[in-house]
Amino acid sequence: MGRPWMSGDPTDDKERAKRLELLADRARRFREELGRRLEGAQREVAEIAEAPLGGLGVAAATVELIEASDPLLAGEKRFPHQREHAEAQHHPTASETKLDPEAEATARRGPVRGSSCNPGSSASPGCSGSVQICIDSAQLAAEFAEMVRTRQHLALKVLLSEETFLVPCCAARDGVLVFSHMSWHPLRSLRSARLQLLAAHSSDCVQTMKEPFASHLVVLATAELPQQVLQSLAHARLELPLQASSGPHESPRFVGSISVSLALSSEEVRAPPMDGALEPSGVHLKVWLEDLCLRLASLNGVFVVLKLGPEQEMVVHVSQNDQRAEGGDLVGRLGFMAVAEHTAWSFDLARKILMAGPNPEKLFFQVWSGQELLGLAGLEVPPLDEDAMNELAERGRPCVELLAVELPVQATSNGETIGSLRTKILAEFTSQRRVHSTVAAVAKEAEIPEEHRQAPGELAAQGCIELSAPLSDREVATWFRHFFAHHLAESLHISPDRIRVIRLDGRTLVFEIAPGPRHEAPAKDALAELGRQLAVREGPVWHTDLAKLLAEPMDAEGPRSERPPTDSGERERGFSQRGTGPGWGPRAAAVRAERTELMGNLQQRLFEVVHASGVEVSKAFTVLDTNRDGLVEITDMVALLSHLGLPLPEDLLHLAGHLSKDEGCQVDLLEFCRHFAVWQSARPPPALAPAPAPPPSAWEALLLPQGARAERCLLLPTYFLYALLDPEATGRVSPETWLCVAQRCLGFGADAAAATYGFCDQHGIGALTYRDFRRYVHRVDELRAQRLPPEACLPIYVFRQDVRATLELADTTVTGPTEPVNRLAAVAASLQRRGRELDHEVNVSGLEELLSDLRLSPQLAAHMLEWQESIAAAVWASRGKSAQPSLTYRGFLSLLRRAHALVQSHLDGLLRACLVAGADLQVVLSFALVRPNQALSAEELAGSLAAAGVDLASVDPQDVLLALDPHCCKQIYAPDLIQSFETFRAKFGSMLSSIAGQLGRRGLSPDQLFPAAVLSQRGG
């Protein structure tokens, strides 16, 4: 669609010149369109494809007649080779910008009359005028076109400096994507221009721009307008190189080109509303948690954790007062509303078109009971439909409900459903949120009674408390935060929401008391009251459940070094003073500090004596408390220990004698017992003498290797050992091979070797499979773990993880998150730097240098080569061959490749569960595919699969991480898992289809298959 005709007198020469100029401009664009490559014209225009040469000839003649009638173009030099010139520049990897020769001639003549902006100047913000952007088509390379062909929903996202719009793909044929888009834009919007080719993973995405385009968009490729075109803008036809989307460690690669035409106008042209011209408006995500239903005896201590963003985690506790029974379940009230900090959707307000979102794509809910994770629930955030966008656009409508659902809560232990979570998903428009936030705050403040309003000018107060034992960040963020605020507020008679935990430094908990209403104590007074309660054992805080977690009083008025020591400071070590004591002068303060230090040293020595004797503190010293006031004289404690015959050092007796001169020096028994327990728990565990080894059991005598060297053999992982046993990768090891290896490498006798083979081949198939071999080695690991302490088993785990990382040296078909690397070439290059080749024989020093150069553990070289030689010699001996070929570096990589294939078979349990559940991992993991690194954690994988109905009860998480996380990064690359699942489904899906077809032809159901087979066997 061209620029609309301007109004005016047709007889006016100036007006006629402008009209003719517009007509000539349209004729040039038409001619350029028809002069493109014949292949592109055939794919885009079906009518011309039937008679291409005739159609182009007629069109060219029409263009010549139109140009001849234009007086502005009379006598202008023609370029007969213009079509060939356009043909040459239309190349998938072209990077240079070609300008129209006629546009260059127009630029040389100078600006058109009436122009307010020089087309040859840069598009500055103050420059008026318009630019017409025509996006014709995209030519893709063959390999990239094959990948894009599987995408059903494609679009081109154009990002200008002042606006963004989407262009849907009209057709896709033989590597050509047709867009046929034209729109007018302000000239200043071309300060920057970038085009992104987008695709949608979900099959439910619609193709029209009137509705949400996609819930999950992926950037396939990107093209940018060259800076020289932006700085010296003119009429141009561009072939922009299209580069595949790359990660931080990938090099860009060209995958095609996009045909874009730019045409200038000296005046502002307002284009009519189009689906492509979009203006984003942000919408926030709101989650309403209504209630939680669980099959538990009690809901006390149960809470739900919801993560709304990278740094926004919400913790919602079940109300203790609003619980009811429904059938055999308990229902607890949550009643909590959470709003995401960042926008979740972006849509065009005028045309009601969804541009982005939702983000996050899925929500995961964790149900905890204290420190135990009970279950998980997942929910996919819906996209905004047209009705929701219409309601959000209405003025005065704060939010819209999108979804109300009751989510099943699945247990983390066995995957069974243990309850449900009732929740609602709402959307809130950003502008409504800004407008109503101030009004709502004022209205809420007006509704609060005068005595409950916050006191003006009050500031928050911070303090710290020493805990008896350190807590993890997870515990602080979940159960302890609510626990601490509830009990501390109860003792201080303030609101729990005023108390906020700031951080935890070791055992020091730093918290803050915020300003509160007028009828409650100010923050500074509440903090001072807490200090007084901590200094006195009868304080209310010591009668709450929080007391068992406290070890030291709080620093209520600043650091201890900055305030004078008091009697309460003596309480910090469990002691108190009775009587008036000295005064408050400088000398008195020095005396109190010296006495406090002496009593602290005495307490430390008493702890050591009591711990060494094994005396129970509470029973030993209670007999001294004759008046039952909880206080005992320090001299009586020392006398009791001496009476029990415990050795008391001279320095301890000297300290006790020095302190006994002070009248009324006593010990608080409860404080002493509590501090003794803390001191005892902080002591390093004593070095235990090695216990005598128990006599070997029957299983150990049968299965464990005989001798220290033989035991080292089975420290290697099972996949590496089985790759040595099966050099041809047949999946079967003959009994003769196993018997020879068991006798020569594991130290078994003939009978023990035969017994171990019988343990492995329990089904009598006549061969040792990898699954049976894994079961045998797993049993050996269990028997070894019973004899060794846990700290001795850790190096074995680390050693096997290093071997697993070494397998990544082998070339595999599955690529990682970075650009695929020729690993064989990398190994060859590393060897060449050391003066070696792939066909050279492997030795320990050479392999150590290779592993060190590739940042792997060089200590593995000696172990792997030692057992490769021993097992290979045994395998060849079982086949009647005495000499074995020498192992080269190429052969070593082949060994690693076989071991890697065995590792990938550990995924069969997970892939089998997904196949049985009918899950589509492309859809289930779509939230990870849109991330820059396309990775997810093991918890996210388990939650998303459980939400998709996959039974994970028989899946070992360690097997999944072993196959998909070789470097222990706690990240799983989603495309690797999807590709493994597609290969698994292609392998076994056809088999299942064949079985189903045979059953259908025989008129049998799956339940009748095995009974029919049994009857047939009995009849035969």
Distance CA 962, CA 938 (A): 12
Instruction: Say which range, 175-189, 542-556, 648-662, has the weakest mean pLDDT.
Output: 648-662
Segment 917-970, tens digit of pLDDT = 888 888 888 888 888 888 888 888 888 898 888 888 888 888 888 888 887 777
The two structure tokens encoding residue 125: 């913000």
Angle at 883 between CA 882 and CA 885, to 5 degrees: 145
Distance CA 711, CA 784 (A): 10
The secondary element (H helix, E strand) that includes residue 856 is: none
pTM over 0.85: no
pLDDT at res. 405: 93
Phi/psi-derived region of residue 582, left when phi > 0, alpha when psi is between -120 and 50, beta in every other case: beta
The secondary element (H helix, E strand) that includes residue 801 is: helix 790-806
User: 181 with 167: CB under 8 angstroms?
Assistant: yes
Handedness of CA 612, 618, 623, 628 (dihedral sign): positive
Instruction: Say which range, 125-134, 289-298, 380-389, 635-644, has the weakest mean pLDDT.
Output: 635-644
pLDDT at res. 423: 94
pLDDT band of residue 188 (cuts 50, 70, 90) is confident
Segment 872-908, tens digit of pLDDT = 888 888 888 776 778 899 999 999 999 888 888 888 8
Distance of CA 203 to the CA centre of its chain: 24
801 vs 717, 806, 901, CA distance in Å?
9, 9, 16
The answer for residues whose C-beta is within 8 angstroms of residue 491's C-beta and 6 or more apart is 530, 533, 539, 540, 541, 543, 544, 546
pLDDT band of residue 396 (cuts 50, 70, 90) is low
462 pairs with which residues across the strands? 512
Q: Higher-confidence residue: 640 or 373?
A: 373
pLDDT at res. 425: 93
Segment 674-689, tens digit of pLDDT = 777 777 766 665 554 4
The two structure tokens encoding residue 949: 């109905």
Segment 25-66, tens digit of pLDDT = 776 666 555 554 333 433 443 343 343 444 444 444 444 444
pLDDT at res. 695: 52
The answer, yes or no, to whether residue 407 has pLDDT greater than 90, is yes
| CB neighbourhood size of 916 (10 A) | 11
714 vs 267, 724, 778, CA distance in Å?
81, 12, 10
The answer, yes or no, to whether residue 585 has pLDDT greater than 80, is no
647 vs 140, 610, 650, 680, CA distance in Å?
89, 10, 10, 20
The two structure tokens encoding residue 562: 């900055």
Distance CA 657, CA 639 (A): 11
Distance CA 517, CA 494 (A): 9
Distance CA 406, CA 384 (A): 20
The answer for residues whose C-beta is within 8 angstroms of residue 805's C-beta and 6 or more apart is 856, 857, 966, 967
Rounded average pLDDT over 778-796: 79
Instruction: Say which range, 343-347, 441-445, 600-604, has the weakest mean pLDDT.
Output: 441-445
Q: What is the dihedral of CA 913, 915, 916, 921, to 10 degrees?
A: 80
Using a pLDDT cut of 90, give the percent of the chain over it. 2
Coil, strand or helix at 268: coil
Segment 515-560, tens digit of pLDDT = 888 788 888 888 888 888 888 777 888 888 788 787 644 433 333 3
pLDDT at res. 420: 93
| CB neighbourhood size of 1017 (10 A) | 8
pLDDT at res. 565: 38
pLDDT band of residue 487 (cuts 50, 70, 90) is confident
Distance of CA 220 to the CA centre of its chain: 21
Burial of 501 (0-12, 13-18, 19+ CB in 10 A): middle
Rounded average pLDDT over 292-312: 83
Computed over every residue of the chain, the mean pLDDT equals 71
Structural domains of the chain sorted by starting position, each given as residue range(s) with its CATH number in brackets:
13-278 (2.60.40.150), 280-447 (2.60.40.150), 461-563 (3.30.70.2470), 575-682 (1.10.238), 698-903 (no CATH), 909-958+970-1002 (no CATH)
Distance CA 353, CA 343 (A): 16
| CB neighbourhood size of 12 (10 A) | 11
Segment 246-266, tens digit of pLDDT = 544 456 678 888 888 887 776
| Residue keyed to tokens 């020089």 | 118
The secondary element (H helix, E strand) that includes residue 464 is: strand 461-467
Nearest to 98 by CA among 195, 190, 235, 194: 235
Sequence-ordered strand ranges (E) for 274-328: 277-278, 280-294, 302-309, 312-317, 323-326
Coil, strand or helix at 798: helix
The answer, yes or no, to whether residue 652 has pLDDT greater than 70, is no
pLDDT at res. 609: 67
Q: Strand order in 508-513's β-sheet?
A: 499-505, 508-513, 461-467, 550-552
782 pairs with which residues across the strands? none
pLDDT band of residue 781 (cuts 50, 70, 90) is confident
Distance CA 403, CA 333 (A): 19
pLDDT at res. 144: 80
